[in-house]
Amino acid sequence: MMERISGILALVFSAAVVLSCGRTTVTDADILPYVSETVSDTSSMANSVVRHYDPYDRNGTIAVMGPEEDTRRLTEFLMECDMFDNVDGKHLKDSLPDFAGEVFHAWYDIADTSYAAFFEEGNDDMMREVTARNAVIAAAAECYQNTFSHSPSVPKVPSKIIVFSSPYAEAGREDADSLFSYMGKEIRIVSPVRAVAESLLEARPASRVGIWADSDVLASGVYAKVFRDLNCAVDYVGFSPDGYATAEEGFFRYLDMYIATGEITPLSAVVIDDLSLSSYAGYISVVARRVKSSSEDEYAVYRAVLADDFAVFDAVSSLAASCYRMMREHNLFSHRILYPRMEEYMILPASDGDTGVKYVEYNHIYVH
C-alpha cells in the first residue's frame, strides 16, 4: 500500500504555571490531564517520583522503553555497538563498546499492546499519556514486586536518559518533557523519529529523502511533526512496501513505488524506520552502489532516481548515535570499567481490581 506522508499540526505547549496554597496548577488547552494532575497533586506517586528525581546522577541507568520485540532488539544493539571512539567521541570504531560500564533497563510495555491502534482509533492523546507515564516509570526509584502489589517497594536505579523504541512515542515526547520541566526538572529523551531527523540534519542531503516505514507510522504524522518542529527543510516522501522476502527485494519495491508516482527527483537518502530492518542498512547501501555503478539496462530506471550522494539511514544506529552524543554532551557516562549490562522490566496491566499499570522487574539479568 502506498502512503504519501501528510502533514499534521505541530503540538503546541505554552502553559501557565500558577502557585497557590502549596499546589501547582497547569492550565492550557493542550496539556494532558495526566500531566496537569501529576503536577497539581503533590500527594500522588508520580509527583513524588518527579520531585525526587536527580537528572544529573551519572550512576543512573539508560532506560529503553516500548514494545517488547523492538525494545529487546534495540537494547542488545546498544550494549554491543562500537560506532565511536570513547576517548574523543569521534565517529570511529575503537574496539570497545560505546556504552561500556552502563546499565540498561529494558522496559517491555505489555500493558499497551498496540501503539498504532491509538492513532487508528483517533486517540492520539492516549499515546501521549503512555509516553509521559513511561518516562515517570523510568525515573522512579522503586518498582512493584508484582501486579498485585498496591505500592512500589522493590528498589531500582532511576534512569538518566530514556530511549523510546517506538516511532509512535514521538507523539508524547513533548508531554514527558513538559511534565518534568513544569516541576523544575530535566528529562533526557531519545526517540527514533527525532534521532533520524538529527542524522539527516547532520548529513544535509542535497535532494529528496525517502521514508521507508509501516503505513500506520506514516499515517500517524510523527515524521511530519518532527521535521516541522526541527525546522528541517527536507523534501521527503514516504512509502510502505510489503510482501517482500528479502531486504534487497524490499528496497527495489520501495523504488518501484516511488517511480510509479511519476516523480523524477533523485533520492539522496532512504530512511529505514523499521528496527527489524535496520541491521540490513549496510547491505542496502551496497545494493544501491551496485545499481549506481552498473551499466545494465535493467537498472537504468533505478539509477535515474538515486542521487550521487545517496545514503541509507536507519533508526537503530541513529538512536545509538543520539544517545551517545547526548551522554557526552551532559557528561553522563558512569566511567565504570565493565561490560554493559541489561536488567529487564515489564509494564503490565494492574491486577486485583487496581486501575492503571504496574511496573515489575523481569527477574533476569543478561551480561554481554
Residue 234 predicted with pLDDT over 50: yes
pLDDT, residue 148, reads 84
Residue 245 predicted with pLDDT over 80: yes
pLDDT, residue 363, reads 66
User: How much is the mean pLDDT over the chain?
Assistant: 89
- Pick the closest to residue 227 from 2, 3, 7 (CA basis): 7
Is 99:62 a contact under the CB 8 Å cutoff? yes
331: left (phi over 0), alpha (psi -120 to 50) or beta: left
Residue 351 predicted with pLDDT over 80: no
Digit-coded pLDDT (tens) for 294-315 = 999 999 999 999 999 999 999 9
HSE-up (13 A, CA, CB side) for residue 165: 25
Lowest-pLDDT choice from 7-16, 140-149, 330-339: 7-16
Residue whose C-alpha cell is 507523539: 171
- Cα distances from 279 to residues 91, 274, 313, 316, in angstroms, run 18, 10, 11, 8
Average pLDDT estimate for 316-330? 97
Q: Which residues contact 355 (CB under 8 A, 6 or more apart)?
A: none
Full-model pTM: 0.89
The CATH architecture one would assign to domain 194-316 is 3-Layer(aba) Sandwich (3.40)
Between 133 and 231, the more confident residue is 133
pLDDT band at residue 10 under the 50/70/90 scheme: very low
Residue 58 predicted with pLDDT over 90: yes
Chain length of the chain: 368
Coil, strand or helix at 297:
helix
Is 281:272 a contact under the CB 8 Å cutoff? yes
What does the domain layout of the chain look like in residue ranges?
23-191+318-367, 194-316
Average pLDDT estimate for 37-45? 96
pLDDT, residue 229, reads 86
Between 12 and 293, the more confident residue is 293
Residue 27 predicted with pLDDT over 80: no
Residue 72 predicted with pLDDT over 70: yes
pLDDT band at residue 352 under the 50/70/90 scheme: low
- CA–chain centroid gap for 288, Å, is 27
Average pLDDT estimate for 325-335? 96
Q: Please report, as a single letter, which amino acid is at residue 167.
A: P
Coil, strand or helix at 306:
strand
pLDDT, residue 353, reads 61
pLDDT, residue 355, reads 66
Is 258:226 a contact under the CB 8 Å cutoff? no
pLDDT band at residue 3 under the 50/70/90 scheme: very low
Digit-coded pLDDT (tens) for 150-163 = 889 999 999 999 99
CA–CA separation, 79 and 26 (whole Å)? 39
pLDDT, residue 16, reads 31
Residue 197 predicted with pLDDT over 50: yes
pLDDT, residue 112, reads 87
Residue 261 predicted with pLDDT over 80: yes
pLDDT, residue 54, reads 97
pLDDT band at residue 283 under the 50/70/90 scheme: very high
Give the chain's count of helices (H) and strands (E): 13, 14
Residue 12 predicted with pLDDT over 60: no
pLDDT, residue 233, reads 75
pLDDT, residue 99, reads 97
Angle between helices 281-293 and 247-260 (to 10 degrees): 60
pLDDT band at residue 188 under the 50/70/90 scheme: very high
DSSP codes, 151-166: S--EE-PPEEEEEE--
Burial class (CB in 10 A: 0-12, 13-18, 19+), 279: middle
Between 231 and 91, the more confident residue is 91
Dihedrals phi, psi of 161, to nearest 5 degrees: -150, 145
Residue 15 predicted with pLDDT over 80: no
CA–CA separation, 249 and 327 (whole Å)? 37
pLDDT band at residue 190 under the 50/70/90 scheme: very high
